[in-house]
Amino acid sequence: MIAGEHLFDAKSCIATRGVSLGYGEPAPQDVTGFARATRAQVTAAGRKDLSEEPADYSMKKMENLSAIDLFCGCGGISSGLRRAGLDVIAGLDMWEDALETYANNFRKSLTIKADLAQLSTRAFMREVGLRKGELFLLAGGPPCQGFSKNVPRKNRFLEDPRNLLVNSFLDYAEALRPQVVLMENVAEFKNGFDQAFTEEIENRLGGLGYHVHHAVLTAHEYGVPQRRRRAFFLATKEKITQPFPRATHGDAAAAPSLFPLAPFVTVWNAIGDLPSLKHGESYENKPYRRKAFSEFQTRVRGSNDLIMNHVARKLQATQYARLSSIEPGQGIKNLPHHLRPKGGYSGAYGRLTKEMIAPTITRWVFHPGSGRYGHPVDLRLITMREAARLQGFPDDFVFAGTYIQQAHQIGNAVPPLLVEVITGHLLRQMRS
């Protein structure tokens, strides 16, 4: 559980402070809220009460770089924004397991559990103490299962409730009128349903005076040690010449570039400094045993001293036998006949290699039959700390919950390092 002294319940909040959270009449009884600070504390820190008048926001000064993360999950986007220098003042989601992690890692931010489709924009703005136009950046990754290629095509449809939450996100953008809107989703979102949602985003935000840009970015081209394609939508009030950064990493030998590229970050350059484990072993709340030997490792360590979430799941006998029977780089098709399952993904029961870029880390990273999640040296699955490294999370970001809950949080997160690169590039464009 989250430390109780830092939290409040939405229903008691209404009783003591007279704030209606706008869930309709009467308010649903299953809605609760978590926070790391009261609104009085937030206001005392310099945030103003809600006003109908838009704030006078000067982009020339580039002050008060505040951000809000809707559908925040465990905090992948928020982590990237914070590392780029923004002040993340609030994160909102319905996912309680992930919110426990979020609250523990963003202790100066409001952590709110609420259904965005039911929470009124006016009540939310009152709660966080913001006026229209005062926020610098609104970010979010609306649930993507309705678009994901992991969902059979016959089960994807435009009116999927998970897809319609995109409209709720746009409602908040319209109410808050931030200087910047950043939205992330699966790559299929951009062109899915004959680009219906891309057109909706362009029309709604463009109609508000924003310059709207979108692109599909590949994470490993920006220093994340993972092949992960995601669609990003960026809307700015000021016109910028290059909304998204050029690739920072590549294979210089295969494709020489006019712009110097760092080499892709491999699996071993990402996780090779972490302690070796047998399946079923753990190494938590203990100092590093080895020195960092790559720039990536140095970066994710930062000033952190202790390793957390480094637990190797105890495998079932058959699972361990399968993993033990193959070499790094092999998978289900290489299993001995007597150990081969009747069916499975092409990458199932796969082992990583030191030299490769990791495949996409999904919420199923805890299961050997769901992807190439076998360690390249040890006979075990990668730990949640190693999975977090492959997502670009810093080592001081600690995940709460059970092993499987942590896997879901990490697999569903947006790589913080990718968000940091996008945001840093944006700030340099706007300052120039």
With vertex at residue 228, the alpha carbon angle to CA 226 and CA 234, rounded to the nearest 5 degrees, is 125
**Type and span of the H or E element at 184:** strand 180-186
Strands (E), 223-277: 229-236, 249-250, 262-263
* Residue scoring higher pLDDT (190 or 31): 190
DSSP-derived pairing of the beta strands 306-307 and 211-218: unpaired
Query: Per-residue pLDDT averaged across 12-30, rounded?
Result: 31
Query: Per-residue pLDDT averaged across 204-225, rounded?
Result: 96
Structure tokens, 70 = 């809707």
For the chain, the average pLDDT equals 84
Query: Per-residue pLDDT averaged across 59-83, rounded?
Result: 89
144 is catalytic: yes
Which of 13, 72, 74, 144 is flagged as catalytic?
Answer: 144
pLDDT of 51 above 50: no
Q: Domain coordinates of the chain in residue numbers?
A: 4-249+416-431
Architecture of domain 4-249+416-431: 3-Layer(aba) Sandwich (3.40)
Q: What is the per-residue pLDDT across 258-302, written as a single tens digit (0 to 9) for each?
A: 778 999 999 999 999 999 999 999 999 999 999 999 999 999 999
Q: Using an 8 Å Cβ cutoff, are 179 and 236 in contact? A: yes
Q: What is the per-residue pLDDT across 363-398, written as a single tens digit (0 to 9) for each?
A: 999 999 999 999 999 999 999 999 999 999 999 999
Chain center to CA of 193: 24
